Structure 1
């Protein structure tokens, strides 16, 4: 028998502490008591040496990513960078590549906070390498509706799972000496009108659901930062929400870190400061700095309020080693070192894979894993098989040095005598993908007279700069940018090329000018014009193997992102010669029929799933559903890999024997997929969010405000809590996921404080099981008990055992699992903002069912526990 690491809410990483931990505080990257006292003294000394103008400036970004240095007090500039799947650094380009981990949904699908902690160690190592002190991550908003456009960047629909995975992530990053900013506090659960929407959330769901992950992370990981959201909650913008920031986050929970605004979210100097906002980003022009100093001199705010915010910024500097004369929270000897980024990315990708379905093929064994010794031809089908979508769009974008596609991964892993064929099948994109395969590109930044200012290698055909141009380049001296290099086609015929950008564009291929014109935006929104510029398409007849020179010259023509915020976004797209849609699908069907196994990779695109907008539906783009149906009819051994960051409808799921969800799998996508498909490793993932059969079945679909407001009328019934009240069953429930072995749940012992579950591996190979513990009220509940969901997740543990072996998991039951937020006599509806002081936590007495489960709908053992 083996023992599982228990899910202990006081140590949710599920693994041993790092050897360098000096005491319990070090688990979260916190300084020991003596070091904390040193930090306090150093902060007070530094503060005393600052005048009002310098203090006000310290609370305002000096540019897109940094705070100003103050050499007189030994303060270095604090550098922030986007995450959460990598560390981009201050440059939005491929000059300094980043490890690209799988999407947060994939990390949450592992249900393993210890693995999240290791991911944090890697990201801290990446941040130190890039000179970054604070990572703008993790994102712990909830999957309220499957239409949420940024769900790939969040963890789960359940607050406990979100909080536990987020705690592991924060601990790991801060153990590496790098700060985190847990975001977006709070209620940023959709993208539609996110800058202005007023989310009306009653106190009980606000406390039990949306605030709960933040509270868990503050209590168990002590983050050094939090980022407040753009949106309003109950009438107050989050950058000015004193009740939630000052009273709850700082007062009730004891958060001692920095509160930084989401970029451009701060709107009013006085209200922001009094609401608890410490840092307004980005700079140099914000509501802080000079306007804040003027407000103090005008008597609108007290200098002591400014001092409190500066103290927190200086404490962050001390913790990250940016304040001289005091040791950082984690010294060099205590930091995890020498982490293999590719190995971590590959492990998370395969551990996060969720095997949704795995049925026998005829009278033979189950479709997965594929026996490589028994096949001679494998057909790999789908645009995403060749060009994997490895990460989500928007601020989560990083630039890996290389990406392993599913096609490449399978070709590398299969024996040499197995033929691997490829067919496109169905093109899911409406825009031409960025030039990548066969291209070697660099961006040359030129002055008006042609002088070379900077030259940077390009990962693909997109040149995007946000916030800071390359060293030596300014808006004043930049005349043009040339994306240039060579292209070696793999196929002969008519290739499609595309140019996009706002300004003058000239494309030259093989010495011939194919395009020379100005491109203007379609609308009046400068940010939309910047992020999604107009595309123009062209064609060129090219020959396989014959390299041609390619140059796309761009002279910027807007849009202006604002004072001091440098921005460029233009691109070269490329698509190889291909048949029309009907012919491409027919070719894929022929390839599948001639193969022993067909692997179809279907995917979303950044046109339908990305930051900045919500999804309109859950359908796969293009004719991918038709492709799967026709391939499955041609080959009974069809495996479908779903490459999306969040749920999509799978109308053909009963027609194929195997469906594997890979999420956005990071740079090692193909290597990890081959590990799982060929059985070198088991797919270890369990769904962190419910997958509907149809969008209309989902309990919550409203993400569009009415008259500026979005009312969370469903209360506490989101995700599986809501599904349990609706008639249609989902396609796949919360917690679902299959492995390559089977588990028998043998015994369940429980007390009001903990649960002990024994499980046995009844299969023929080693495997992992996620033991999930749910609580359900019974008919014997107290007569005054409030309405509650049918059941809710109370804890979980990951166990591992070999064939025939048993494993035992002990899962604590925290008091909060039996408690509800009692709104008190005042009620507290969604519109009154009564979230800080009204009401309190109340333990609900009565008899509960304790359920040990494989998923929320696959409950194996039950017991009763009485709570007094």
Structure 2
């Protein structure tokens, strides 16, 4: 299904077979085990260089957690999906391949194509959509783009890794039909349309078998039915059993050097537990990947001519503005020319442009909404007030901090220094400053200066496990062990910081800061990790006073723009959400501003749905997702009308009380997907509940008239006319509804879409091909796809609920 091999593929395959024949058992087993956090070992005897992997999906961080080598930061995957534009996703992939080559990376650990099963999923900003077809189509564009640049992808996390709670051990109980029609579907679309060079298997268990050992889903479905010929790498630390993993189709166990492969795998073969042919199959897959990316001597890379250079900042800005979803507009946007604007919200000044966890990269610049509007509006047109701060906890020390890391041995001798991205240290494996080894490293001191932006009591704290010493402006505030009540090594990464100091500081006056950590390595993590964080929070003024100041600024402006946001304690890898409310007093702020200014525009800076209880009280609501490094510039483009917002919702937005699927917490280690095939808009319709904003919804700055829909076979041709007064972009959506209702099937589902552009008064055609799979269901009796014959209504729509023209089809 993934396509036949070309002559070039066959030539590479011959080189792979020759290289495989040159390896003994120990070398083969060693190749399948990570040699460190991000690489597989080189084998010079067969001309194999070391394979380098790096986290994505919005940028390429490289092998070090450092700001010394900055990365372009694109908008979040939810933003990319909101463009409903596979070609734009392909262009994003081309840029990321360019970034990967610049950093010496061969394989990007992306894209994430798990589904938005429940709005509480904490990592949903890193996935695309609640709909498998939209997810797969955007993901295929992304993979095609990255691999067109000669860089491999690993589509992840295979499969049903749809929440973070107990993600390492949870047993997700999913029906075969739901697996096929929902959770496997994006992977299948990508394998079929983009031929990815890699798949990453997930931490979780599916129906009793952990995914790194899932023979049925990996060997029989992924490789057998779909014809996937790439390599299968474990999520980091997901592989648990040598024999079960190799039998289950796992090719590479990451990270190293402690893995279930290597010496353990060679010994299992010698003991007769594993056939060497199984090892050969895995090595063959790894060598094929190496040949494709050009690190196996004698094999021509899959791509010999790379695409032309891409302007990273320019593309980041374009994707951002194309992703913004205008869900409400009562004439407030675009902003009136020469009007005054009151910009409100802490997130307008300190923008959150990306999500937390492994998706983190360090761009060389971030354009905040305040930066973007200051540059776009005339002098004197813009005022700013904080209003309300979503950060109710300490965050990573960054604004105003200039820090470096000083490494010392047990005698106090300096053995190395390095820069750090703000106050966060995350050295994994051999990612250490030059000259430093794990054996010699005893303490790490974060030291430097802090120049406050505000006068008052600043709070400093620590995130991490172990012995720390915290000193600010010459005073030591903490010199002791910090041990959480819960014994969880991942608290170092995902836990809450502990406050320890509240010194009074003066704006503009630098002070010395120091945090020293006595290094200790967690025994239950199979690699050496040095990780801790210096945390900080600015003086906390009275919330009512801040809101009052914002209200006064808004009262005297023609338009008030309020930016509200989530934080990394709300949306991040490592934990799920418990509610959908905005943190802090942001809801109060919006209501107070809207009460004095009828032209209040709210910009929602979140990667996933949040509740908007004031949405009918404001003039406009614009969803900006996590917009990447150029988000503020893109926001100015859209607010001023230089460009229209191009996005449509890739997932349903509504209240938690109304959301039909909310269970993400396992019971006794198990999480049944009792909703079966009804997630997202399918579930909202089945339950008869009205969301705040439906799947596919989004407004522009012009109007569209849908004139006709013609069906020939499974091709739908739609004529639309721009009936507004300015040029615009429209996303024409086709939903398929069975003529005879069936309680076991959704009322309708997305079967295709296309974007069109037209000037005022112009008519254009959108041609949409509905895939055969849109007419099929998975039969659990025969374990096969069944083409469901009968009559269907083709609903051409602007969203799942906004149907414009219809047509009938009998198949």
TM-score where L is the length of structure 1: 0.91
Q: Which of 371, 381, 393 lines up with 1:408 in the alignment?
A: 371
Mapped pair 1:373 → 2:338 = yes
> Which residue of 1 is the match for residue 615 of structure 2?
653
> Which residue of 1 is the match for residue 405 of structure 2?
443
Structure 1 residue 541: Cα displacement: 3.0
Change (3 A) 1:453 1:739: farther
Mapped pair 1:459 → 2:421 = yes
Structure 1 residue 572: Cα displacement: 3.7
> Which residue of 2 is the match for residue 583 of structure 1?
545
> Which residue of 1 is the match for residue 324 of structure 2?
353
Structure 1 residue 571: Cα displacement: 1.6
CA–CA separation in structure 2 for the residues paired with 1:352 and 1:192: 29
Q: Which of 694, 700, 705 lines up with 2:661 in the alignment?
A: 700
Mapped pair 1:860 → 2:808 = no
CA–CA separation in structure 2 for the residues paired with 1:454 and 1:680: 50
> Which residue of 2 is the match for residue 807 of structure 1?
764
Change (3 A) 1:194 1:622: same
Structure 1 residue matching 2:637: 3-state secondary structure: helix
> Which residue of 2 is the match for residue 305 of structure 1?
278
Structure 2 residue matching 1:111: 3-state secondary structure: coil
CA–CA separation in structure 1 for the residues paired with 2:259 and 2:276: 18
CA–CA separation in structure 2 for the residues paired with 1:674 and 1:139: 29
Mapped pair 1:566 → 2:529 = yes
CA–CA separation in structure 1 for the residues paired with 2:521 and 2:20: 41
CA–CA separation in structure 1 for the residues paired with 2:382 and 2:672: 55
Which string of whole-angstrom CA distances, capped at 9 and with x for unpartnered residues, describes residues 776-831 of structure 1?
1113x8xxx7832111100000101111111111001221111111222xxxxxxx
Structure 1 residue 283: Cα displacement: 1.1
Deviates more, 1:307-316 or 1:293-302: 293-302
CA–CA separation in structure 2 for the residues paired with 1:434 and 1:645: 19
CA–CA separation in structure 1 for the residues paired with 2:546 and 2:480: 33
CA–CA separation in structure 1 for the residues paired with 2:481 and 2:183: 46
Does the CA-based 8 Å contact 1:625-1:652 persist in structure 2?
Answer: yes
Mapped pair 1:293 → 2:266 = yes
Mapped pair 1:844 → 2:760 = no
Q: Which of 784, 807, 823 lines up with 2:780 in the alignment?
A: 823
Structure 2 residue matching 1:736: 3-state secondary structure: coil
TM-score where L is the length of structure 2: 0.97
Mapped pair 1:186 → 2:137 = no
Which string of whole-angstrom CA distances, capped at 9 and with x for unpartnered residues, describes residues 130-167 of structure 1?
11111111010111111111111110010100000000
CA–CA separation in structure 1 for the residues paired with 2:441 and 2:308: 40
> Which residue of 2 is the match for residue 341 of structure 1?
312
Does the CA-based 8 Å contact 1:531-1:569 persist in structure 2?
Answer: no
> Which residue of 2 is the match for residue 691 of structure 1?
653
> Which residue of 2 is the match for residue 832 of structure 1?
none
Q: Which of 593, 596, 603 lines up with 1:631 in the alignment?
A: 593
Structure 2 residue matching 1:40: 3-state secondary structure: helix
Does the CA-based 8 Å contact 1:560-1:567 persist in structure 2?
Answer: no
Structure 2 residue matching 1:850: 3-state secondary structure: strand
> Which residue of 2 is the match for residue 834 of structure 1?
none
Structure 1 residue 100: Cα displacement: 1.1
Mapped pair 1:713 → 2:686 = no
Which string of whole-angstrom CA distances, capped at 9 and with x for unpartnered residues, describes residues 481-526 of structure 1?
2323333333333333334333343344444444444423332112
CA–CA separation in structure 1 for the residues paired with 2:170 and 2:188: 23
Mapped pair 1:390 → 2:353 = yes
Does the CA-based 8 Å contact 1:849-1:862 persist in structure 2?
Answer: yes
Structure 1 residue 685: Cα displacement: 0.4
Q: Which of 375, 381, 389 lines up with 1:418 in the alignment?
A: 381
Change (3 A) 1:44 1:217: same
> Which residue of 2 is the match for residue 362 of structure 1?
none
Structure 2 residue matching 1:697: 3-state secondary structure: coil
Deviates more, 1:600-609 or 1:138-147: 600-609
CA–CA separation in structure 2 for the residues paired with 1:283 and 1:558: 15
> Which residue of 2 is the match for residue 766 of structure 1?
727
CA–CA separation in structure 1 for the residues paired with 2:792 and 2:208: 37
> Which residue of 2 is the match for residue 323 of structure 1?
296
Structure 1 residue 317: Cα displacement: 0.4
Where do 5+ consecutive residues of structure 2 fail to align?
A: none
Structure 1 residue matching 2:457: 3-state secondary structure: strand
Q: Which of 739, 744, 750 lines up with 2:711 in the alignment?
A: 750
Does the CA-based 8 Å contact 1:620-1:648 persist in structure 2?
Answer: yes
Which string of whole-angstrom CA distances, capped at 9 and with x for unpartnered residues, describes residues 306-338 of structure 1?
10110000000000111112221111xx21232
Structure 1 residue 614: Cα displacement: 1.2
Q: Which of 91, 94, 116 lines up with 1:121 in the alignment?
A: 94
CA–CA separation in structure 2 for the residues paired with 1:178 and 1:203: 33
Once the two structures are superposed, the pairs formed by residues 103-142 of structure 1 within 5 Å of their partners are 103-142=76-115
Structure 2 residue matching 1:860: 3-state secondary structure: strand
CA–CA separation in structure 2 for the residues paired with 1:561 and 1:388: 36
Structure 1 residue 553: Cα displacement: 3.0
**How many residue pairs get matched?**
810
Which string of whole-angstrom CA distances, capped at 9 and with x for unpartnered residues, describes residues 99-138 of structure 1?
1111100000000011100110111111111111111110
> Which residue of 2 is the match for residue 827 of structure 1?
none
Structure 1 residue 186: Cα displacement: 0.7
Does the CA-based 8 Å contact 1:61-1:282 persist in structure 2?
Answer: yes
Change (3 A) 1:563 1:610: closer
Structure 1 residue 452: Cα displacement: 4.0
CA–CA separation in structure 1 for the residues paired with 2:583 and 2:456: 26
CA root-mean-square deviation: 1.9
Does the CA-based 8 Å contact 1:84-1:138 persist in structure 2?
Answer: yes
Where do 5+ consecutive residues of structure 1 fail to align?
A: 1-9, 11-23, 360-365, 825-837
Change (3 A) 1:374 1:63: same
> Which residue of 1 is the match for residue 630 of structure 2?
668
Deviates more, 1:390-399 or 1:448-457: 448-457
CA–CA separation in structure 2 for the residues paired with 1:572 and 1:700: 35
> Which residue of 1 is the match for residue 178 of structure 2?
205
Does the CA-based 8 Å contact 2:393-2:537 persist in structure 1?
Answer: no
CA–CA separation in structure 2 for the residues paired with 1:348 and 1:254: 33
Once the two structures are superposed, the pairs formed by residues 167-182 of structure 1 within 5 Å of their partners are 167-182=140-155
> Which residue of 1 is the match for residue 499 of structure 2?
536
CA–CA separation in structure 2 for the residues paired with 1:100 and 1:152: 14
Structure 1 residue 545: Cα displacement: 2.9
Change (3 A) 1:522 1:400: farther
Once the two structures are superposed, the pairs formed by residues 720-759 of structure 1 within 5 Å of their partners are 720-759=681-720
Does the CA-based 8 Å contact 2:470-2:479 persist in structure 1?
Answer: yes
Structure 1 residue 557: Cα displacement: 4.3
Does the CA-based 8 Å contact 1:502-1:559 persist in structure 2?
Answer: no
CA–CA separation in structure 1 for the residues paired with 2:414 and 2:641: 51
CA–CA separation in structure 1 for the residues paired with 2:464 and 2:123: 24
Mapped pair 1:776 → 2:737 = yes
Structure 1 residue 451: Cα displacement: 4.4
CA–CA separation in structure 1 for the residues paired with 2:659 and 2:382: 42
CA–CA separation in structure 1 for the residues paired with 2:637 and 2:556: 24
Change (3 A) 1:516 1:232: closer
Once the two structures are superposed, the pairs formed by residues 246-325 of structure 1 within 5 Å of their partners are 246-325=219-298
Change (3 A) 1:607 1:42: same
